[in-house]
Each structure stands twice: as C-alpha cells, then as structure tokens.
Structure 1
Amino acid sequence: MDPYTPRARPPRKNNLTLSAKEYTKITGTIASVRRNRQLSDDIDEEIDSRVHNSRETRVKSNESSFIAETSFVRAPLNSRVGATISTPKSKGKAREDVLDHLPIDIQEAIILEDLLYVLMGIEGTHVTCHPDYSPEDDDPLLGIRFVVSSPLDPPLRDLTERVLPLGTYYTAISAFVESRSHLDFGLVNHALCAAIRDMLKEYQTLLSQLEHAFNTSPQFTLQKLWFYIHPTVHTLSLIYQLVLELANTDDDEASSLSSSSVDEEQNARDEALGLGGAKLKAVLSEITKSSAGAAVPVKGGEVLTIIYERMQSMSGDPTACKVFGTLLSAAGIPYAQMLREWITTGRLHDPYEEFCVKESKFISKGILEVDYTDEYWERRYTLRDGSTSSSKRQHTGVPPPRTPGGRLPGGACIPPSLEGWKYKVLLAGKYLNVIRECGIELQASQRQVNEQQLSMDDQKLYKFVEDAYTHANHTLLQLLLRDQQLIPRLRSLKRYFFLSQSSFLTHLLDLAHAELKKPAKLASIVKLQSLLDLALTSEDALFREDVKVSIASTGLYEWLLKVISVSGVIGGDDGEGALDGAGQEDAKKDRDKDRDEKKPMLAIEALALDYTVKFPLSLVISRKTILRYQLIFRFLLHLKNVEQSLASMWIEQKTAAWRKPVPNHPDFEQWRLRVLLLRARMLAFVQQILAFVTFEVLEPNWRSLEAKLAKVTTVDQLLRDHVDFLDTCLKECMLTSAKLLRAYSRMIVTCSTFALYSSSFTKSASQALAAAESGDGDQAMGKRWDFLKKFESNFNHWYFHLDCVQYYASSENVSLLPLVVRLSSIKSMS
C-alpha cells in the first residue's frame, strides 16, 4: 500500500449534521491538537509567507514550485516532530493536573496523540520514557521502554499499556537494522536487515493511516487503535525476540580466539605440512597477531541457524512460521548464491567468512618444501566446523563454540538444512577446483543459469546440490580414468612394487650386488638409479621413467613397530596408542636391545622404490598411498633377499665338505645333518611366507580392486577402494599387528643372519673333515655345536609365531588360515 500524504483540509461547511456530543468530542480533539502546535504556528506563518512570496514569484516567472504545496509543509507528521522537539514539556504536578480535570473523551484524545508519537519511537507529553532510561548508558538494541506518567482512567490505562510494547519493539528493531547494516556483519545480516526494513515500511504505512484516521475521523478511538495494531504487536514481538537473541549471542568472551589456540593451530599446520623457513613463519605470525582475540560476530550460517531453530520451535504458530520463513528466505539468498557459485564453478567468493567452506590461502604449493599435492588439496579447502569425511581427525583453526548452547560461531555454524549435505558441498567444489587446476575452465550449464533463485528453505536446494555433486564427480572421474590413465598407472605400481610378472628385481639384484652389500650411507643412489633404469629398459616397462630409487633411513621392522606403537595403524591419522602397557613395554625393550646391538644397515635392507606422480593423479596415488606401496615392496624385497641367501647357502652346501661321508666321525655327521635341516626349515619358512603373501594376499585383493574400479561411479568411492585395498594388504601381510610383526621379524632376522654365516659353516665342515681324515681328532666340535644350537634355539623360540598366527586367524583375521596350514608343514620337519 502506498504511503498516505495528507492533503489540505476542505473548508468547513456551515450545515453540520452532528450531535452535540460528537461536536464536543471533535472540537476537544482539535483543541488538543492545536494546543500542542502553538509553538509551531509561528513557524507555519513564516512558511506561509514564504509560500505566498514564492507564489507571486512563480506567477511572474510562469514557473512551478514544489514548496507551494502547502499540504506537504503542513503534514501532520512534520508538525508533530517539530512540536516534539521544540515544545517544552510541563513536568510534575502541573502536567498531572491537566489530565485530572479533563473529561475521559479529552483524555483519550490526548493519549491517542501521544501514542502515535510512541509508536514511532518518539517520547510524548503524557507517555514518556521510563525514568531509568538513559540514551547514553542503555543498549539501544534493547529498545526504549515507555510508561504512562500521568493519571488516567483505568480502562484507558489498560489499553494504553497494551500498545506501549510496540514502541519498544520498533526502537529496538530499528537500532538492530542500523547497527547490523555495517560491512563487518556480512551479507546474510545485510539481507536480513533489508527484509526487516521492508516489514517496518509496512508498519510505518499503517501508522500513517492511523494518523490520518486520528485527524479526520471523529469515530477513531483508543479501542479502534488497539483493534488495528493488535496483529502488528505479535508480528513485531516475534522480530523483537529474534533481534534480542542475535544481539545477546554476539558475545566477545564466548567468541574470541585466544592466542594460545592460534599458536596451536599454527604448530599443527607446520607439523602436518612440514612447513618451515623464516619468511613463512613471519607470514604466519602476522596472521596470528591479526586473528588473536578477534571476536566472531553472529553472521553467516549462524544467523540462518538461529532463524531456522526459532521457526521450528514455533511451528504451531502460523504467524511465526510466516514471519520467520520470510526472513529465512530473504537472509539465505546471499548464502545460497555463494553455495551456487562454489558447487557449480569451484570459485569461493566469501568476503566476510560466512560460508561453511573456507579457503586456507596460506597453504600453497609454492611454500611446500616437498610437493605433497594431496596434502595441499586436502587442506586448501576445508569445512569451517573442522569435520572431514575421510578420517576422524578434525582440522585445526575451528573457533571455540558459544558458551550457551555450544553452537559454533559465524560461518562455522552450518545451517541445519545443509548439515547432511556439507560433505557433498565441500567435495563438489574441491573436485571442480581440481579440474580448473588442470587448465579446464568451467562454466555453469545453461540449465543452471536459467534456474530460479535458490532459497535455503526450498526443497529444490537439495536436488541442486545433488546434481552439482554428481556432475563434479563424474567430470573428475572421467578425467582421471580416461585422460590421465589411472588404471594403467595402478597396474604399473602393482608390477613394480608387488614384484608380480616382472623379473626386473632379480636383474637389478644381480647388477647391483656389490653396491647393495655396502652400508646404506655409503651406497650411491645415482649408480643404483642407473642400474634400475638398465634393468627396466630390458623389460620395456610402462612408466619406467617415473620409478626412482630411494634409500630409507631406518630398518623396515624397526620403523613399522615404531609407527604401530604410536598410531596403531599404518598411515593413521589419530595420535592415540593402540598397544596395551605390556605391548609398549616389550616394544621399548626391543628398541633398547636393537640400539645396543645395532650394526650399520646395509643398502639392500634400506633399498626402496619411489614413484613420481603428477597432479591430478597425485590425489589418488598420494604420498600416503605410495608409502603403503613402499612398505609392501620392502617387505617382499627382504623376503626375496633372505630366500636368495638361503638358496645360495644350499648351493654351497652341495660341495664335498657337506656330501662326503665320514663313518668314523658320527658326531660330525649329526652336526652336518642338523645344519642342513635348519637351513631347509628356514628356507621353507621364507618360501611359504613369500608364497602366501604373493598368491593368497596380493593377487586376490588386486583382482577385487580391479572389479571395483570397473564399476566405480564416484571419486569418493575410487579413493576409498584404493586405500582399503592397500590397508587390507598390509593387514593380511601381518604388518599391522605388533605381536605378529615382532615374532615374524625376529625369525626373518635369524634366517638372514644364519645365511650370512654360510661360509663359516662351510669352513668349519672342511676343518672337521680334514681332522677326521688325518685321525688326529677334532677338538673344535664342541664349539661348532654351541654355535649351531644358538641358531636352533633362537629359531625354535620365535617359532611360537605359528601360535600367534593361529590365534589371530581364529579371532581377528580369517585370511591367515592358509598361512597356518602352510606353516604346519614346516613344524613337522623338526
């Protein structure tokens, strides 16, 4: 409805057809109005004279003048504001006596005029501000409390006190709109204030109509005023309650970030990403200083959450549902626009940090000391609430929750309508960013351009998010599988790291035999890389230029035990220990014993392969997954090396010193048989472990992965299936159980050490054979038995590994049952 502009009153007619009572009431009302305008009459006369002069000037110059419209100058609202500002108020008993000696009709007319002041937040003559109110000290967001300061007839006072809360609501809401329209409060608050401002315009239109009725209608009474504004009281009370909650939630103490939390955030970032350098630390220190102690105002998703919760809690009130629904729809438009741009183009335009997704601009590939591209994309865009779909770990930098209720502040508070879709919202934008990083520019489809404006309370929002997520997923999946040749890459990884259908390792071990026997610190990586390239060239292998040689700094089993004792799993994200007290104590003893008996690690024990993968394949074949491949490769390489050593020992033991019969020396014959039997048992043990890992674990799991990749439909599923495949292989290879790994590693070390003494055993056999042939007697036979029994006792002691395997196969890992059968045949050889 258009605002009403009063016009000049028509000349009064002489033939009035009113009763005496009505005439008295009208004249009393007019007298009351004129009495309050005494001071403004002089101003009006001056304006009239100016208007008269301007009219004469206009006649002379034949030009129109806006100020000639006297009806505008003499508008009731203008005169009232002027009278309110200029007229001195009577105080004390003098003012009270005015109403005491007036009839009820006159009191009603005077109070009606004051109420029209109060409804606009202006103090009247007899309805004034509360005595305790102070404009300088009181919070304007609480509104101005009005009271009736003069005695009134009880019915009039009752109706007046019903109307007075509207003045408080209006002043509080107006103050909220004015204060929350600043830039610091974000786009959602701006949209909310605009919607409230539109509602206040309707309220002001109502006031102008009431004012017109007051000045023109003799039947306009206080009861009619209450009848007209009664629905508005409930509407403004709902908005007032919302304003109070938004104002009271904005608490500096609950929403400020302490400097200690910022320091912890910085340390976590540095530790996780391996960041360093004085320049970077200086940049992060500036970020810390600027954000320490900064308050997080109520904005963004938190505003939408508060409105949504109020609408849900008052769902039985149709007026409340309509008011809050209108405000939620209007306030959510900027949020929905940010959401649309993020999930359709991958661009994050969030100048006031209101959206649920945040961009950590301090993380860039330029500051990474190592190109961990998967880490870059994992931490570049995250949810503000710290949650992640890939692990239980939460990201740092999450603001502390509000003290009352525990709700996260600002943009970290995700609207309830998006809570179940937040991961899809995050991943849709991240996948589009991956595509953009590959040089493929994205544009919203024509259907999305023509889509109607989204609203946070619209059911179409969920379908839009689902469609955008599906489109981003499908586009990136096709890019990985078709353009980037992901499946051939994974097959090459299997070939190189799992030693399947490839003889390059045997060729490499033959070529680099001398170099691999050196200590790890003295081995030449350049020479080993050249020999690896030569071994791969002979096979014409795919992607052989991406395979590199690396030397590990620690032994395989030592490193595995350390990782398991800290995190419980390989590549785990949690920092909680998985071992009990006894297990940790045993691990500590083993580490102390290894430290005491530590010898320089040979290059063959530290040899590992690395694989270079470029973006975007690095998202699937990440550094974490390559680490898992490396662990399996080193495990298989160690088994192959021990098997070759024991096989070489078997070839050496085919000489005359081991085969020539010595009938007159039965003790020597028994010693030779025991050495041969121990070597056979060790070789059978290593071969059974190697066969089990190759044919019972790696090959079946790889076939299962290939079947899943043929049916994969989302990038999430692709990443999950790949990681699950590697974790399953590690678990079934017994590399994730501390007890199994400790027993198994001891047995393998015993076998490799036994193979190292192959020449010593041959030398002892030759000496014993020469002594037997000379007939002088063998004085060193006792030492030979002692030396052999140490290996036998050590091997038999750690052979309770079979019992551990049986226990885990029956309780935790059924896939170990074939290994139990294989190891049982070795036990019968003893």
Structure 2
Amino acid sequence: MQVPFTPRPRTGGRKNKLTLSAKEYTKVTGTIASVRRNRQHFNDEDDYRGSDQIEPSFIAEESFVRAPLNSRVISGLSAPSPKGKEKEERMDDMPLEVQEAFILEDLLFVLMGIEGTHITYHEEYSPEDDDPLEGVRFVVSRTLDPSLRDLVERILPLATYYTAITAFIEQRSHLDFGLVNHALCASMRDMLKDYQTLLSQLEHAYNSSSQFSLQKLWFYVHPTVHTLSLIYQLTLELATADQSPADSSSSSDDDLDARNEALGLGSAKLSAVLSGIDKNGDSSGIAVKGGEVLTIIHDRLQNMYGDPAARTLYGTLLRAAGRPYIAMLRTWTRTGKLNDPYEELCVKEAKFINRGTLEMDYTDEYWERRYTLRDGSTVSSSDKRHHAGVPAPRPVSGRLPGGACIPPLLESWKHKILLAGKYLNVIRECGIEIQNDATRPDETQSMDDEEFFKSLEADYAFANKTLLQLLVKDQELLPRLRVLKRYFFLSHSPFLTHFLELAHSELRKSAKSASLVKLQSLLALSLGADAHGDDMAFREDVRVTMMGSVLYDFLIKIVKEKGDIGGVPAQEDGAESGGEGGGSHARREKEREKEKAPLSAIDALSLDFAVPFPLSLVVSRKTVVRYQLIFRFLFHLKNIELALSGMWLEQKAGPWRAVAAADSDFARWRGRVLVLRLRMLTFVQQLLAYVTSEVLEPNWRVLEGKLERVQTVDQLLRDHVDFLDTCSKECMMTSDVKLLKAHGKLVAVCQMFAVFSSAFTKAAHLALNGAETKEARDKRWDTISRFEINFDQWFDLYLACVQLNASRENVALLPLVLRLHSVKRASSS
C-alpha cells in the first residue's frame, strides 16, 4: 500500500503570497506549545486561573503551565461547550504546513485519549451510554486536506485501542475478577507504558525538530497500531465472552420485555417454566476469569500462530496471566492445600465434607466429592454435562465459564492434578508432614514449558508413592483385607459353628429383642478360640450388627431401583429410596405391612468392620456394605446347611431307625422325607461350593496379585471395588429380579423344612406307637407333599433363570448350572 505524501515547505510563489515571513514560518512549525498558548483557551490568563474547575496549585506551578499536555488537560477539565454551538474552525484556508502542524499537535493528545481541536469525539459518542470497553472513536475535521486526512485516519484507531485497553485494565483490576485477570492487566499495563514512552519520545521530537512531520509520525507508530489492535481484539473477546445473544437486543425490546415480565407475561420466564430450565445452572452470572481467560488467550494464539507479532504478543500475555494459575496449581500438587480465593482453578473443594463423614458415609463422598474437577469429569468418565454443580456452558462459545474451563494445555493432565492434591491432602489429614524432595521449579515456568509438565509428573509420582506406602505398608491394608475375607466370606468357618452354638438361644429372638452386647461377647469368644496371626491383631475390629430387612427383599429393591449394588442406601432399614419410581399404592402398602412383620435375629444378623483413617478410603462404608451382603448371603446358606445336617443326625436314630417292615405307609413317607432332605442338603452344599471355591477364592487370588503389583492409589481403589462387584455379580446378587425371587423362595423352603424337623420326628413317634389318627396321617402326607411341590417348582424356576443368565451375560454361572443339573439328576434317580 502506497503511503500518502506529505507536502514539504517550498520556497516558491506560494510562500510569497502569504503575509508571514520565513522566521514566522519556522516559529509555527517548530514550537507547537507557543502556538497553543496563543490560541483561544489561553488569551485570558485570569479566566482559566479563576475557574473553579481547575486546582489553583497546578496553575501556580510554571512547569505545569508549560507542559505540552496542559492545554488539553485545561480544555478537558473545563465544561464542554454544547454541540453545534461553536463554529468549527476551517482548515482548508490554511497552508498545508500549518494544517500539518495543528493536526500533529492534535494527534499527540488524541493518542492519549484526549479530545483535540480539529480531531474530536465522534458525533454519536456519549460517555454515559457507550461501553468504555469498546473504546472512544475520534473523527478528523472534514476541512483537512485529503492527503493529510487519509494518513490521520490510519493513525486514529490507535486512540480507540488505547482508550479501550485502558478501560479494560481499570475494570478487570477489580478483586472480583481474580488473580489471572490481575496478572493479565499488569502485563497489558506494562505494554501501555512502552506505548506512552513512544508518545513522549514523539512529542519531544516534535517540539525539538522542525523536520518532524506526519509521515514520520506514521512511520514510528505504524508497528504499534498492529500491536494494540491485537490487544484490543483480545479485550473485546474477554469482555463479550459472558454475554448471551439476547444481550445484543435493542433498548426498546428490553423495555418491552421488562414491562411484560412485570405483568407476568414475560416470554423468557414462561419458556423457563415450560422447559424446566435450571436457573442455578446459568453461566451468565459467572465472570470471565481463571482458566477461561487462559483458554481464550490460548485459542487466539493458536488461531493467529502464522502472525509473528501475534504469536509473540499472545505468548507473552499467556505466560504472564498464567503465573498465578500455575502458582495455585503447584501449591495444590505439592502440598495438597487448595488456595483458590476467587474460584479460578480447575479443582474445587466441598468444604462441608470432612473426615467425620467417613463414619456414616455410604456413598464415598469424602474421596469422590470433597475435591473434584469443576468441569464435572472423573477418571472413569469424561462427561461434563450431567453432573450437579457444573455450570452451563457459555451460549455463544460453548466453553464452560470461569474456573470450570480448563486450559487446553492442562486438559490431558487434569486428572493427575486432581489426584496428586487429593493424595497429599489425605496424608496431611493423618498429621504427617509432607516432605517433597523434588527440585522446586522456576517461578517463571509457563504452561508451554516442558519442565513444567515434568514437575507435574514428579509431584503426582511423589504423592502417589507416599500415600500408597502409607496405605499398603504402614496401615497394613492387605492383612486387614485378609481378615475381612476370612470372616465375611466364611473362609474361617469353625468360628461360625462355634458362634451359632453359643448364640443359639439369642438368635431365636426377634431382631429388636436380641442383645447386641451379648452377641458381641459371644462373637469375641468364638473369634478368640482359635485365632492366630492377623486374626489376633484385628479381631477386635469385627463387630456384630443387625440389619433392618430381609436380605433378598433388600437385594430386589436395589436391583429394581439402581440395577446393581453400587448405590446401596445408607442403611438396610427398609426405608424407600428417593429414586424409586411411582409404584402402585397397593404394592407400597403391602411392602409396609411386610416390613412391620417381626424380623428374626438369625435373618437380620450381620458383621461390621471398623477401619481407621486413611484405610477407610479403601475399605469405606460403601465397600463394607458389599462385604456384609456377601456375608449374609453365605451365612443363610451355611445356617441352612447346619440345620439340615442336624436334621440328618436326628433322623439317624430313634423312630427313624426302628421301622416295622409291615408298615409300608410310614416307610414310604419316611423315604420321601429323607430324600427331600438329601436333595435340599445337596442343593445348598453345591451352591456353597460354587460360591466359595469358584467365585470368592479365585477372585481373591486375582485381587492379591493386583495388590502386590499396584502402582497408583486410584488403581488400588478400582481393583478393590472391581473385586467386590465381580463377586456380587457371580454370586447372583445383582441379577434380575426373577432370579433373586426364585433364589429367596427356594432358600426359604429349605429353611422352613429344617424348622419342621421336630414336627416330622413327632409324627414318626405317633405313627410307630399306633396313636396316630387318620387326620394326623393325612396331615403329615399333605405337609411333605407341599414341601416337595414347592421345592420342585422353585428349583426348576431357579435353574431356568440361572441357565438364562449364564447364556446371556454371566458366563461364570456355567459351573453352577452343571452342579444344579447334577442335583436334578440325583433327585430323579
């Protein structure tokens, strides 16, 4: 583009036509301050000295009076004259040299945001109504020579950029905008100092050199125009990032909407009600700060990477604005302390969750929710849209607002950043002093520095190694898990037999009547009878507790509501969960009546395990509930096995052995009782053998192998939960409702049959003594027939459900299918 030529003073006829001498020409073009002092604002010294708009102390100072900006400051402080009432001074009657002199002087002030004489505010500019972040627009006199006006109009955008950037710095330096904005404004302020230095140098050149021209001014400020335009575009984007499309509507539309809203006819309000918009998720109230500022600068840097000036400028701003963000980040990853007063960091803290919640926390809130990422993503899920507490994205850009917007350079590191601080925070909660021997990084590190990411990796590795050693070695995680497995999975079954013998009378009572203190004492005796090794160290952590509902009813409720046992309610108290759908009123009433029935202690019995912090993060209340469910599942089967075995011992002697050969009716009945007992005992033993030898033991060996090779704390937590999930699934506790109902009914039939043992023995005595009536004989035949029918019916349904689940989703059930088929073949033979 060709630069317009500025005419030079000539020694020709044009000069001779003027009434000024050569000396006077030199005075006009060389000393602009004297020209301004002889203009209209300084003709009467007493006028501006007496003005109450001016501080007298300034006027008394001669250096201020002689300062180049004095005329503009005085003019700006005085009351502005009404628009259009002053006749504009024409410049086309002046020589080009004089026009250039006046315009040069105006430019030196306009570039500082001060209105000039021939360069004035745009006619539509209003300080009260216009947004200062858009800058002040200036226009040059229409009477200026076109060759000069074209060059001036190229320089004028600098004034708009400067005023807009200055307004942005003033606004975003407020405390509410956070440390990142403060650092960004400080860096911009330093750049404006260079711009102001340039203007002062230009002003000195203008006052001291008669050769200074508009062309030279353009030559010196031309690079600065591009630089300030880049900063101006960034400030505009930062200023408008939190605006929605509705913000650009006209004022008349806003007034109309306000009136409609006052009358209850507002379309926005009606739409919000109809669509169910969550007002709490609105992002319009969140300022552009923290990670969002860094993201905007980074995006502009990437989009304009081909421009060397833009790359250098935005890179400098990104490094400057990122320093407080990096400082907060490093404090978090090195000490576990979250120092984020303006919510700018990608990590947030739920302060209402503390160590005290671990005692009754059935949802792992301390570990999963105390410290989280603001974008809602987790290690297992990157979904950012469906988490409570995550603000809605910006309507235009789609970015998450404020600190929820993670800088692109940290997106792949956000989970390590979160975990590093969480690990160290747990160590601090234990009262252990953190001593990170890693080399401290240079304070000038930036997000595009390779050393910065190396230091992040070192912090994560240190935090992970320290907490892992604390859990596995210092807190003896594996021995405690072995104790859990031994007692909750009934791998140490002698203690259970001993306990049932000692607590037989207490367990026959209802759950509310049974004494937990007495049961705990009997359990301690049973555990101490043959305890050794880890049993001696941690047996006092095993406790007796009573649940509030039948196991299978509880499992069915969980499967109906959640689909698995991952969201176990806080207590098995039979209370309906809030997630339950709207079932029929009759069904709910029936469930309430069922819950009111007294629950026996033997059905409500369970074990609990006390785990100290920080091991309670691994063996949390949520995982203890899963151990309890597996224990109750095995305990019921083991109790039925013991009852049926006792029934077998009882039927080996007495009337069951002294059977007259002539009494064929009693012999047939006796044979059917023995066969049914054998079938039930075989079924229970086969199910127990499958659960213990083909589910729990193999999965436990896999878990032990993983724990010996585990490298991260998060992997340790996942391996433990995966182990419990796998055991629960292969034990059919998370299967469909039909299978759970069939299993519960089948186990209930076996349990009831064992309860009838004394009734069968009494009927046998009556039959052998000849004291049996016809009604009694028919009753014992009817009883055994009903038991056979119920057992066969529920066994066939149970086998069909197991086969269906084995063929569809749970291949691990195939060994159980073979075992059940063997039970069926034995009964048919």
TM-score by length of 2: 0.84
What pairs up with 1:712-727 in 2 under 5 angstroms? 712-727=710-725
Q: Is the 8 A contact 1:365 1:371 kept in 2?
A: no
Q: Which is further off, 617-626 or 784-793?
A: 784-793
- The aligned residue for residue 617 of structure 1 is 615
SS of the residue 1:549 aligns to: strand
SS of the residue 1:455 aligns to: coil
- The aligned residue for residue 267 of structure 1 is none
Q: Which is further off, 747-756 or 761-770?
A: 761-770
Q: Is the 8 A contact 2:72 2:116 kept in 1?
A: no
- The aligned residue for residue 123 of structure 2 is 131
SS of the residue 2:544 aligns to: strand
Correspondence for 2:102 among 110, 120, 133? 110
Q: 1:807 to 1:446 in 2, by over 3 A?
A: closer
Q: Which is further off, 83-92 or 95-104?
A: 83-92
Structure 2 residue runs of 5 or longer lacking an equivalent are 1-8, 16-21, 50-58, 248-267, 269-278, 571-580
Q: Is the 8 A contact 1:301 1:356 kept in 2?
A: yes
Q: 1:574 to 1:538 in 2, by over 3 A?
A: closer
Give yes or no for the alignment of 1:362 onto 2:352.
yes
What pairs up with 1:692-731 in 2 under 5 angstroms? 692-731=690-729
Q: CA RMSD in A?
A: 3.7
Counterpart residue type for residue 303 of structure 2 = S
Correspondence for 1:784 among 773, 780, 783? 780
C-alpha distance in 2, partners of 1:251/1:569?
43
Residue 25 of structure 1 deviates from its aligned partner by: 5.9
C-alpha distance in 1, partners of 2:30/2:72?
14
What pairs up with 1:143-182 in 2 under 5 angstroms? 143-182=135-174
Q: Is the 8 A contact 2:806 2:813 kept in 1?
A: yes
Q: 1:188 to 1:528 in 2, by over 3 A?
A: same
- The aligned residue for residue 821 of structure 2 is 824
Counterpart residue type for residue 200 of structure 2 = S
Q: Is the 8 A contact 1:809 1:815 kept in 2?
A: yes
Deviations 1:635-673 (A, max 9, x none): 111011010111111122223433344444434332222
- The aligned residue for residue 5 of structure 1 is none
C-alpha distance in 2, partners of 1:585/1:98?
87
- The aligned residue for residue 209 of structure 2 is 217
Counterpart residue type for residue 475 of structure 1 = T
What pairs up with 1:193-212 in 2 under 5 angstroms? 193-212=185-204
Q: 1:94 to 1:45 in 2, by over 3 A?
A: closer
Q: 1:333 to 1:30 in 2, by over 3 A?
A: same
C-alpha distance in 1, partners of 2:178/2:479?
49
- The aligned residue for residue 305 of structure 2 is 315
SS of the residue 2:339 aligns to: coil
Correspondence for 1:430 among 402, 408, 422? 422
Deviations 1:773-818 (A, max 9, x none): x8x9845443333322222221111122112222222221221111
Residue 453 of structure 1 deviates from its aligned partner by: 3.0
- The aligned residue for residue 306 of structure 1 is 296
- The aligned residue for residue 534 of structure 1 is 525
Q: Is the 8 A contact 2:486 2:492 kept in 1?
A: yes
- The aligned residue for residue 475 of structure 2 is 484
- The aligned residue for residue 655 of structure 1 is 653
Give yes or no for the alignment of 1:328 onto 2:333.
no
C-alpha distance in 1, partners of 2:161/2:569?
51
Deviations 1:402-438 (A, max 9, x none): 2323322221221111122111111111111111111
Counterpart residue type for residue 505 of structure 2 = A
Q: Is the 8 A contact 1:188 1:303 kept in 2?
A: yes
Q: Is the 8 A contact 1:764 1:784 kept in 2?
A: yes
C-alpha distance in 2, partners of 1:348/1:794?
62
C-alpha distance in 1, partners of 2:407/2:676?
69
C-alpha distance in 1, partners of 2:308/2:481?
59
Q: 1:452 to 1:184 in 2, by over 3 A?
A: closer
Q: Is the 8 A contact 1:127 1:150 kept in 2?
A: no
Q: 1:186 to 1:594 in 2, by over 3 A?
A: closer
Give yes or no for the alignment of 1:549 onto 2:544.
yes
Residue 226 of structure 1 deviates from its aligned partner by: 2.3
C-alpha distance in 1, partners of 2:712/2:83?
78
Identity value in percent: 61
C-alpha distance in 2, partners of 1:407/1:76?
47
C-alpha distance in 2, partners of 1:29/1:84?
24
Q: Is the 8 A contact 2:111 2:162 kept in 1?
A: yes
- The aligned residue for residue 560 of structure 2 is 565
Residue 321 of structure 1 deviates from its aligned partner by: 1.6
C-alpha distance in 1, partners of 2:546/2:763?
36
C-alpha distance in 2, partners of 1:471/1:515?
52
Q: Which is further off, 525-534 or 669-678?
A: 669-678
Residue 756 of structure 1 deviates from its aligned partner by: 1.1
Deviations 1:9-59 (A, max 9, x none): xxxxxxxx9957797864443476533222458769999xxxxxxxxxxxx
- The aligned residue for residue 512 of structure 1 is 503
Deviations 1:76-127 (A, max 9, x none): 2345434554698797597545313112332222222222221111111111
C-alpha distance in 1, partners of 2:283/2:192?
36
Give yes or no for the alignment of 1:227 onto 2:219.
yes
Q: Which is further off, 497-506 or 19-28?
A: 19-28
Q: Which is further off, 592-601 or 658-667?
A: 592-601
SS of the residue 2:681 aligns to: helix
Deviations 1:667-698 (A, max 9, x none): 43322222211111111000000011111111
C-alpha distance in 2, partners of 1:820/1:716?
36
C-alpha distance in 1, partners of 2:568/2:658?
60
C-alpha distance in 1, partners of 2:394/2:624?
41
Q: Is the 8 A contact 1:373 1:615 kept in 2?
A: no
SS of the residue 1:792 aligns to: helix
Correspondence for 1:795 among 791, 797, 811? 791
Q: Is the 8 A contact 1:254 1:403 kept in 2?
A: no
Deviations 1:550-570 (A, max 9, x none): 000111111111111111111
Q: 1:750 to 1:647 in 2, by over 3 A?
A: same
Give yes or no for the alignment of 1:375 onto 2:365.
yes
Residue 471 of structure 1 deviates from its aligned partner by: 0.4
Counterpart residue type for residue 292 of structure 2 = E
Give yes or no for the alignment of 1:810 onto 2:802.
no
Give yes or no for the alignment of 1:456 onto 2:447.
yes
Q: 1:194 to 1:732 in 2, by over 3 A?
A: same
Deviations 1:477-511 (A, max 9, x none): 11111211111111111111111134111111110
C-alpha distance in 2, partners of 1:109/1:311?
40
TM-score by length of 1: 0.84
Correspondence for 2:112 among 115, 120, 123? 120
